[in-house]
Amino acid sequence: MFDKVLIANRGEIAVRVIRACRALGMKAVMVYSTADRLSRAVLMADEAYCIGEPEARKSYLDGDKILAVAKACGAGAIHPGYGFLSENAAFARKVEEAGIAFVGPNATAIDAMGDKINSRHAMMKAKVPVIPGIERPSFTKEELAAAAKEIGYPVMLKATAGGGGKGIRIVHQEKDLWSAYERSVGESEKAFGNGTVFVEKAVEGPHHIEFQIFGDKHGNAVHLFERECSVQRRHQKVVEESPSPFMTPELREKMGVAAVKAAQAIGYDNAGTVEFLVDKHRNFYFLEVNTRLQVEHPITELVVGVDLVVEQLRVAAGAKLSFTQEELKQTGHAIELRICAEDPDNNYLPDIGRIESVILPDGPGVRLDSALAAGTEVTLHYDPMLAKLIAWGHDRSEAIGRLKQALTEFKISGLKTNIPFLGDILRDSRFIEGVYDTSFLEGFEKPPLRQDVLEAAIVAAVLFRHVEGGAGMKLVSSGGKGLDPWKSYGRVRGARRL
């Protein structure tokens, strides 16, 4: 095992990895940007090295600098967390070549999954179902009709160079196919300068369900069951839970086998995640493999009873997996909320500022993964996620109840957060019943407010205004005489309409 582990990340995940190192009696080394000098992770670390300016490419993405620190301080391993360098095969390779363990899969496995086309072909070869599709530089009307028929309606037409929903059409019947294709080609030529469009099976009522996988350097691979991640906004996960309310034992068995096959097909030897799309008929299709520790790993830890980060470190040091597939069981239910500094009422724009004070939630079955502390500066340089609030219960409804209570307790002063938005989700009838797919947040409406909560809010607002004065009152005390002449001139001009 390692004496010392360097953590090439920041925020809550750096804190999470420090905890795992400490639990194993290893020293934790932090590298940090100047913006993170007073962050929890740097304060908690055994050693800390400043590696540059806040901008990620000058610090957390500077692999050479990080590797140099690792060599100089004698770290036996580098844990990349998620994001930043975690899925950078070239970095993983350099680390291994320097005789330091990269806490993640081998560079070849990262490479194999980094390319969408290659990974699709690898999965087809391993007999893992992929979304049926046909690609070619261009189609004649007859070729297209034959391709769509072979795949089966409804089909999606997708621009190869696509993104942002441009060049995408869903087609339900043959008579609409050719005109949709022509429009899709035109759109993608305009948007991307490339008119190549391919046909793919349309996944209806899709669920995003992923499987935690784990492999070791001895050829063993297992899965640690699923996570339901269909509560998404613009492909960003907001709420995750395990088990999936949509799952059946038969489907879990089939998907689990496919996930392990996927891991073995690429010689996977650490923690990873196989993402699938599952349609409303419970057909599942391979999407991609995330070759790293996932943000939402805690829900798996709570349900399966495994410390995934500790296991990552053990396996990276060459140990065999400490569990077999047969030993792994799901117990109870866990749900995670991603607490972000953003304003859901203002198009989810990230909010920045200094955290003035914070009251952290706690209680039976409640877990908080965060690096939050009063005085923490939240900047635009990094992800707006502040914390992950997770609750475990014997069943789903107990987990929701515990999560609701913890969320109510959680108070962050100083910037806007999505806490109230998450509270709305937990009270949505579709969420409570566990009947939702990836379209859940489209046109989401706030559930009604309890009458006494609403009245208390109104009374509080009036008393706040009475005690503190409103925005207008504040300006009275600071304004009046010392007006900016240019500002007044602008106002006067505006008012006069000369």
Nearest to residue 104, comparing CAs of 273, 333, 346?
273
From 411, 433, 435, 439, residue interacting with another protein (rule: CB under 8 A): 411
Q: Does position 460 bind another protein by CB under 8 A?
A: yes
Token output for 22: 């400490």
- Could you tell me which residues are beta bridge partners of residue 214? 222, 271
Q: Is residue 467 within the footprint of another protein (CB under 8 A)?
A: yes
Active-site residue flag, 292 = yes
Does 356 contact another protein by CB under 8 A? yes
The answer to whether 133 and 197 are in contact (CB under 8 A) is no
| Count of residues that interact with another protein, criterion CB under 8 A | 61
DSSP codes of every residue in 410-478: -EEESS--SHHHHHHHHT-HHHHHT---TTTTTT--PPPPPHHHHHHHHHHHHHHHHHH--HHHHHHHH
Which one of 52, 416, 437, 441 is in contact with another protein (CB under 8 A)? Answer: 416
One of 408, 436, 441, 442 touching another protein (CB under 8 A):
408
Which residues are paired to 378 by β-bridges? 353
349 binds another protein (CB under 8 A): no
| Residue of 169, 227, 292, 314 with catalytic role | 292
Q: How far is the CB of 474 from another protein (least distance, A)?
A: 8
Q: Are 17 and 47 in contact (CB under 8 A)?
A: no
Q: Is 449 in the site for another protein (CB under 8 A)?
A: yes
Per CB under 8 A, does 480 bind another protein? yes
CB of 488 to another protein, least distance (A): 5
Q: Which is nearer to another protein, 93 or 404 (CB)?
A: 404
**Residue ranges in 62-161 assigned as alpha helix (H):** 63-73, 89-97, 107-114, 116-125, 141-151
Minimum CB distance to another protein smaller for 284 or for 410 = 410
Residue 215 binding another protein, by CB under 8 A: no
Please give the Cα distance from 156 to 202 (Å, whole number).
Answer: 5
Q: Rounded to the nearest 5°, which phi and psi values hold at 430?
A: -65, -40
Element (H, E) at 254: helix 249-265
Task: Kindly indicate which of the ranges 47-55, 101-109, 236-244, 476-484 contains the residues binding another protein, using the contact rule CB under 8 A.
Answer: 476-484
| Residue number with CB closer to another protein (90 or 483) | 483
The least distance separating another protein from the CB of residue 432, rounded to whole angstroms, comes to 15
* Helical pair 116-125 and 249-265, crossing angle rounded to 10 deg: 110
Q: Which is nearer to another protein, 246 or 410 (CB)?
A: 410
Span near another protein by CB under 8 A; candidates 200-208, 233-241, 242-250, 459-467: 459-467
From 291, 259, 289, 286, select the one nearest 133 (Cα to Cα). 286
Per CB under 8 A, the list member of 47, 189, 424, 428 interacting with another protein is 424
For another protein, which stretch binds (CB under 8 A), given 128-136, 163-171, 216-224, 450-458?
Answer: 450-458
Question: If you compute the radius of gyration of the chain from its CA atoms, what whole number of angstroms results?
Answer: 26
Range in contact with another protein (rule: CB under 8 A) among 47-55, 124-132, 220-228, 355-363: 355-363
Residue 443 binding another protein, by CB under 8 A: no
The nearer residue to another protein, 135 or 343, going by C-beta atoms, is: 343
* Amino acid identity for residue 328 in this structure: L
Burial class (CB in 10 A: 0-12, 13-18, 19+), 470: exposed
Please give the positions annotated as active site: 292
Binding site for another protein (CB under 8 A): 345, 356-357, 359, 404, 407-408, 410-414, 416, 419-424, 426, 449-450, 452-468, 470-476, 478-481, 483, 488-489, 491-498
